[in-house]
Structure 1
Amino acid sequence: MTPDLHGFGPALAAGTWMTIQLALAALAVGLVLGLLGALAKTSSYKPLQWLGSSYSTIVRGVPELLWVLLIYFGTVGLMRSLADWLGLESLELNAFAAGTIALGLCFGAYATEVFRGAILAIPRGHREAGLALGLSRPRILWTIILPQMWRIALPGLGNLFMILMKDTALVSVIGLEEIMRRSQIAVTASKEPFTFYMVAAFIYLGLTILAMTGMYFLEKRANRGFVRSAS
């Protein structure tokens, strides 16, 4: 039996597409921040270690919802000052950009620990072999460390991405019209909360299944050479 969506089907579809865009944008930001954080924490320089540790500790210690609110509302004064300096009438950070920054910041903090564990899992002898071959440290990182690190980190990153997909619902509090915001609007108009929240639940479940399927094939591809050498 198909639920009566009272004409809100296209709106929910648009909300689903917005959720996907937000999740992918935050993923891109978070992967960059996570990799930089992990490289800082595994660096031999104490200031970089302190910087990486501070980032992951502070961000993980504050709820994601608070980061969304802090970044969205906390940039108002900064953007006004920037607009005045540039001679513009108004300049503001929209909900999508704020959500991307906040969720990417949080994803990156957790990804820092995933990447750090993956880097430490690579035998030290691999780096020494690269040095023995005359490779520079950046080239060792690019050609030896990073390819192995991705294979080890993929399962953990997959779990974080599925959490990120669900955390996109938090951005509804600042007005971004993703799945939850569209569902709330539909509930207000139709007075049928169970129907629309259940539909939203199934949409999130479907997105999670798609993400799990994608991660399965990514892990399978990343482990091809490893599996053959172990057999």
Structure 2
Amino acid sequence: MPAIFDLIDFSEQGWGSALLKGLWMTLQISAGAFVVGLFIGLVVACAKLGSPRPVATLMRGYTTLFRAVPELLLILLLYYVGSMGLNALMLWAGYSEVDVSGPLVAILVLGLVQGAYASEIFRAAILAIPHGQIEAARAFGLNGFGLFRRVTLPIMAPYALAGMSNLWINLIKDSALISVVGTNELLYTAKQAAGSTRHYLLFYLTAAALYYLVTLTSNYLSGRIERRIRRWMPLAE
């Protein structure tokens, strides 16, 4: 039995270092996609609520498409079809072909998917703001980005925080999908180790334990942030 667990230690024969590198890649992909998703979600939510009808319709179409198509299919389409199109364009322009980065594709695709979900969370959070507070801010001369930065964003944050925490947890799990294009994230590394040593249960359970540890840590941190933000909210009567 000890010999089996030697396979996940940090010696030259063990896979411990490789698994931690895979976990670090997972966190990088997830963090990058989360930031992209936050930005896209805010832009799309504001466009849905305050843009002309054609723009709002286009944003609703984006939200429906990226929530309907599986993330795995989007990764495959963007990675393989997108790389073929990019290289064809490079050759047409007289340049050499380029290698498309798997992590970059993962960040882009997962960010687009998360942006679709985040836009609905932000839209609901903005609609939850009492209209009188927005009117009061406008009476003091706030408009445009200043109104959003100083009034809308601080008030909507507590309403959106719980939903964004759930999206982060889902994003950690969805990042495993990038293994289909050969990126050395956590699940891909665990699959390599399991195939090399034939100890499938050991490495898959180890990967599951690492995902679980990240989830517990994320839940703890999001809870601390939520309690801190909600200190400034008025108590419900």
- In which range does the TM-score fall when normalised by the shorter chain? over 0.9
Is 2:174 the partner of 1:167? yes
Task: State the Cα distance separating 1:87 from its structure 2 match.
Answer: 4.0
Aligned to 2:113: 106
Greater shift after overlay, 17-26 or 127-136? 127-136
Say which SS state the counterpart of residue 75 (structure 1) adopts: helix
Deviations 1:103-137 (A, max 9, x none): 11111111111000000000111111112112223
Greater shift after overlay, 199-208 or 45-54? 45-54
CA distance in 2, matches of 1:57, 1:180: 29
Aligned to 2:52: 45
Aligned to 2:185: 178
Cα pair 1:82 1:91 within 8 Å, conserved? no
Q: What does residue range 149-228 of structure 1 map to in structure 2 within 5 Å?
A: 149-226=156-233
Is 2:31 the partner of 1:24? yes
Deviations 1:69-119 (A, max 9, x none): 111112123321342355432223210011111111111111111000000
CA distance in 2, matches of 1:184, 1:4: 17
Q: Give, as a single letter, the amino acid of the residue that structure 2 aligns with 1:20.
A: L
CA distance in 2, matches of 1:183, 1:128: 55
Cα pair 1:42 1:49 within 8 Å, conserved? yes
CA distance in 1, matches of 2:51, 2:26: 39
CA distance in 1, matches of 2:190, 2:228: 37
Q: For 2:6, which of 4, 7, 14 is the aligned residue?
A: 4
Cα pair 1:40 1:51 within 8 Å, conserved? no
- Provide the identity percentage: 38
- Which consecutive unaligned segments of at least 5 residues does structure 2 have? 8-12
Aligned Cα root-mean-square deviation (Å): 1.7
Is 2:147 the partner of 1:140? yes
Deviations 1:8-61 (A, max 9, x none): 111101101100101001001110111111111111521221122111101001
Q: How many residues align?
A: 230
Give the alignment's TM-score, normalised by structure 2. Answer: 0.92
Aligned to 1:55: 62
Aligned to 1:92: 99
Q: Give, as a single letter, the amino acid of the residue that structure 1 aligns with 2:63.
A: S
Q: Give, as a single letter, the amino acid of the residue that structure 2 aligns with 1:37.
A: V
Cα pair 1:79 1:92 within 8 Å, conserved? no
Give the alignment's TM-score, normalised by structure 1. Answer: 0.94
